[in-house]
Amino acid sequence: MIRAATVNDVATIRAMIHELAEYERAVEQVRATEEQLREALFGEHPAAFTLIAEDDETGEAVGFALWFPRFSTWTGTRGMHLEDLYVRESARGGGHGKALLASLAAICEERGYERFEWWVLAWNEPTIDFYKSLGVEFLDEWRICRLSGEPLRDLAGRATAGLDRISASCTAQ
């Protein structure tokens, strides 16, 4: 069963984020607290949305998908960015990942989102093979760019005057 997450799922979502980070060999990078997730997912201005996959027999949460809307200047339409998709190891192969992706695709169709995009680690062959079985297109000509930490602070320090006006006019958080 796939359902929308509720505020009561925050601890479980946080635990699965940690499990995903262990799988991706990056557990030291997980800093999100339950309070941050509660605000980001269920606060006044949600930054993202989450679906939960439950085991049909036990009702236990066995996976999640966390996504947020994006916008394409080329199509002039919104799309969906899947930030995380995770199914607990004990539940893999049971159709939960496919059901989560199908539910997200249905949301895209319902809302007129023309693109549904996400990233996958290049070494994660089992997941890549799973995505290929669904007909996913891999955009090898694109590179992910990330600016964080000291380089982000350095670049921000180069901003010109008037930043207060710019920040005040941006409503996205």
Each residue's pLDDT tens digit, 49-59? 999 999 999 99
> Band of the pLDDT at 167, cuts 50, 70, 90?
low
Q: Is the pLDDT of residue 171 over 90?
A: no
Active-site residue, from 23, 86, 113, 131 = 131
Angstrom CA distances, 25 to 19, 30, 37, 121, 169, stand at 10, 11, 21, 11, 39
Q: What is the mean pLDDT of residues 122-137?
A: 93
86 given a catalytic annotation: no
Looking from the CA of 115 toward its CB, the CA atoms found within 13 Å total 17
Cα 23 to Cα 63: distance, rounded to the nearest angstrom: 14
Residue 168's pLDDT is 62
Cα 68 to Cα 52: distance, rounded to the nearest angstrom: 15
pTM assigned to the model: 0.88
Q: Is the model more confident about 155 or about 69?
A: 69
Eight-class DSSP state of 71: E
Quote the mean pLDDT of the chain: 92
Cα 173 to Cα 159: distance, rounded to the nearest angstrom: 19
